[in-house]
Chain A
Amino acid sequence: MVPSAATPSLSLPPAQFASLQPHAYLLAHLSPPALSNQPSIRANGRSPSQFRATSANAGSLTHANGSAVVRLGDTAAVCGVRAEILHTDDIASWSVSSSTGAGNKRRKLSGEDPEDPEESQIQDLNLLVPNLSLSTGCAPGFIPGAPPSALAQSLSHQLLTLLHTSRLVRTDDLRIWYDVPDLEGAGQETGEAMDVDVVDKESSLKQPRKREIKAFWVLYIDVMIVSLAGNVLDAAWAAVLAALRDTKLPRAWWDVDAESVLCSNRVDEARSLLLRGLPVCSSFCVFEADAAAGWRAVVLPTSIEMEQNKQQQRWILADPDGYEEGLTQERMCIVLDKDQSGNPVIVRMEKNGGWTVGKEDLRQLVDVSAQRWEEMKTVLKW
């Protein structure tokens, strides 16, 4: 075997080395030799806090009320929002008092809305139905036609809780009202005019016409992950945001004769959803030089005591791709919004799978997420 002897010992092409020794490969990229003046850079050429190029395109699907395609590097998510009608007659636990109670207190929505007492209706009545599908052939591991994988199920639930906790959609946008004609009131006034005192009359005049909730819009938010290359949650959430922003609900009214809700197909009468803010989701993962060091320190506290002082080598990587996700345990996800004066507001923070990230790191990550928020604002044309 003369020819093979002639070749140098380390002649593996990078792609093969990456698949044979993924951990060492990424570590070598992140910790270049001190002599060479190379910066610490990830195997995909990004700096640790750099996100992938993101693009969003809304309103390209014909049959959806709102739709968006978001590409985050090689990850692509298509989201379609379909609105259907839930009649209050069909709700088992619906009572008349709940249908009229909110109506009297309803005020004009201008800027900051007054706190809606019935805001929890979205959650109670399941008015937002997000589902994420990975069985689109997006990656080899997911069998099409099989029930949703554990990952898909957990992502669907993450989207649902994020929709609920961020209170993105206003319940009032989803209500279909019916102005009850004031026939009974008129009859009462003439009949009881004699013995009704003035105060009662005044209150009935002041009170606006009686309104009643007859139905709700239910938004089916379906996310199809067309291509999977890591960080699905960020891509899916961005797609949901863009699609909800694109969503137009037709004008709907209660038709007494048909005893059902009818809609108008005129575009000029349709209205968009008034979303509360722009909660942007940014995910991070932690790559450790020695993944077992932390655990070893617990199991054998004395032997590693010396090394405890030395900072454990680890890198926090923003927007991990599929390759990096496979090498890391610890994940963080920060959902952040900014109020009108530009101060970041943390909507949700999630950290799991490890213990290397502390308070200081999280503070830095919030800053990174705040920068990401600005990026996403321009991407989504908010």
Chain B
Amino acid sequence: MTDRRRINGPPSGTRPPVFAAGADRPAVRPVRQRQPTELRKLFLKTGLIPSASGSAYLEFEPSASLAAARATPTSLIPPSSALKLTCTVHGPKPLPRSAAYSPNLVLTTHVKYAPFAARQRKGHIRDASERDLGVHLETALRGAIIAERWPKSALEITVTILEAEDDRWYGDAPDAHDASWGMMNVLAGCITAASAAIADARIDCLDLVAGGVAAMVYAEEEEEKGGEEPRGRKLMLDTDPAEHRSIGSACVVAYMPARDEITELWLKGDSGGSHEGLIDGAVDAARGAHGVLAEAVREGLSVTN
């Protein structure tokens, strides 16, 4: 069924371009240049959208390979991508008359990818993964907001992802270790940006909640040997899935350093009993993001005052 409220393309549908394998220049997987505990730089700015009560824009630093590809473009296929998203907060506003009484602030979150955000064109209607991200984001923020200060009110948080992270390197075929790893980075970015936007909207919170990602990554050489016991697993913070051949498990946390509290935890994959380390790694990544977050919020306040 066609969506008559939008402009649809050709009725028979279109196919994404297929690139011929260039024999002269084989594609090379980007290599992680950072230390295992080194995080990507992130750019965070609040108060960019004047019509919203609070807003934030977040951008990850492009990986070394992407930066090189941008400086001297040779291939049309980007090696990896860097997260870019905007977050707006509208409210607190009164609940509609028809709504039931609520003693707390009613929080709604929407996460939407732009159609051009990922390698595959995204639809206009929210799909399951976007709704999933919205629910995760809501739980992460609900633990931080002091909701009982706004009875009968609603707060609407909208995240628009302009550029998402890849789930794997584009040259890899989907395999057993495959999951939507990129989504976890996106969630961490959403949490950090939403937290900045909420602070920008002057909503009372227990602390600024920051998102962090850590992953157990199989070392390349172990993978080559095809060993049955993956001993070469390494903990990496803030992983870019395009840079790793296979990721064993990954974890996102939403973390408040002031109370040493985790409001949201999402662990995926086979952690092989080492999930404690994985969570600690994610918390470390979140601490790093929190430093930037606090600085951005402080900066936003000094501009308005």
Contact = CB atoms under 8 A, between A and B. Distances in A.
Interface of A: 61-64, 67, 74, 76, 78, 80-87, 90-92, 125-127, 129-131, 133, 135-140, 144-145, 147-148, 153, 156-157, 160, 218, 220, 222, 224, 226-229, 248, 250, 252, 255, 260-268, 270, 322
Nearest to A79: B116
Given A137-B158, A227-B50, A229-B51, A218 B9 contact: yes
Nearest to B82: A62
B33 interface: no
Contacts of A265: 19-20, 22, 75-77
Given A227-B50, A267-B74, A144 B20 contact: no
A262 B14 contact: no
B15 interface: yes
Contacts of B173: none
Given A138-B88, A263-B17, A270-B76, A126 B162 contact: no
B81 A90 contact: no
A83 B88 contact: no
A129 B9 contact: yes
B272 interface: no
Nearest to B131: A145
A84 B19 contact: no
Given A147-B5, A264-B20, A265-B22, 5 more contacts: A63-B81, A229-B51, A250-B76, A264-B19, A266-B76
B116 A126 contact: no
A267 B76 contact: yes
Interface residues on chain B, size class: 35 or more
B6 interface: yes
A339 B176 CA distance: 59
A156 B6 contact: yes
B29 interface: no
A62 B74 CA distance: 14
Closest A-B pairs by Cβ, 3 of them? A137-B158, A80-B116, A137-B88
Interface in B42-56: 48-52, 55
Contacts of B13: 90
Contacts of B158: 135-137, 144
Interface string B154-192: 001111101100000000000000000000000000000
A12 B249 CA distance: 60
A123 to B, nearest CB: 12
A82 B51 contact: no
Contact of B163 (A62, A131, A148): A62
B126 A145 contact: yes
A226 B5 contact: no
B296 to A, nearest CB: 18
Contacts of B262: none
A137 B110 contact: yes
B51 A61 contact: no
A133 B124 contact: yes
A137 B10 contact: no
Interface in B97-143: 110, 112, 114-119, 121, 124, 126
A89 to B, nearest CB: 9
A92 B86 CA distance: 41
B71 interface: no
A82 B9 CA distance: 12
B153 to A, nearest CB: 14
28 contacts: A61-B116, A61-B162, A63-B81, A74-B51, A82-B116, A86-B15, A87-B15, A131-B7, A131-B115, A135-B158, A137-B86, A137-B110, A138-B51, A144-B110, A156-B6, A220-B115, A222-B115, A224-B114, A224-B160, A224-B162, A229-B50, A250-B17, A252-B17, A255-B20, A261-B18, A264-B22, A266-B25, A266-B76
A137 B190 CA distance: 14
Interface string B46-75: 001111100100000000001000000111
Given A82-B121, A144-B158, A262-B19, A92 B12 contact: yes
Nearest to B109: A144
A227 B48 contact: yes
Contacts of B6: 131, 148, 153, 156
Contacts of B74: 266-268
B185 to A, nearest CB: 14
A248 B76 contact: yes
A239 to B, nearest CB: 12
Nearest to A150: B5
Contact of B90 (A67, A92, A137, A222): A137
Given A263-B18, A264-B22, A267-B75, A86 B90 contact: no
A277 to B, nearest CB: 23
B160 A90 contact: no
